């Protein structure tokens, strides 16, 4: 995450529509991870999850988004 401080951004705070604390990391061009702080989760635990999610985005191209609901998938018969 250290390189994100030089090249991107890490934001931690409350987002009003979500109504909870969140942690968001981007590399200046792409949002790598958006996490919602779990009930009882410490700041250190949230930052650890953010670090793991950023690593997953950078190494596996898997981006974590806990803020935006996934569109429901409709079934076709």
Q: Is position 45 within any domain?
A: yes
Cα–Cα distance for residue pair 9/25, rounded to 1 Å: 6
Q: pTM of the entire structure?
A: 0.83
Residue 24 lies in a domain: yes
**Residue 40 maps to a domain:** yes
Asked if residue 75 belongs to a domain, the reply is no
- How far apart are the two ends of the chain, measured CA to CA in Å? 45
Does residue 76 lie in a domain region?
no
Summary count for the chain: helices (H), strands (E): 2, 4
Task: Give me the number of domains the chain comprises.
Answer: 1
Q: Each residue of 59-75: pLDDT tens digit?
A: 999 999 999 977 765 55
Owning domain of residue 34: 2-65
> Quick check: is 15 in a domain?
yes
For residue range 11-52, list pLDDT tens digits in order: 999 988 888 999 999 998 999 999 999 999 999 999 999 999
């Amino acid at each position: 995450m250290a390189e994100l401080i030089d090249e991107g951004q890490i934001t931690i705070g409350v987002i009003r529509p979500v109504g909870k604390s969140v942690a968001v990391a981007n590399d200046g061009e792409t949002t790598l991870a958006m996490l919602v702080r779990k009930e009882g989760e410490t700041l250190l635990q949230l930052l650890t999850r953010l670090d793991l999610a950023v690593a997953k985005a950078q190494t596996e191209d898997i981006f974590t988004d806990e803020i935006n609901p996934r569109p429901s998938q409709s079934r076709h018969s």
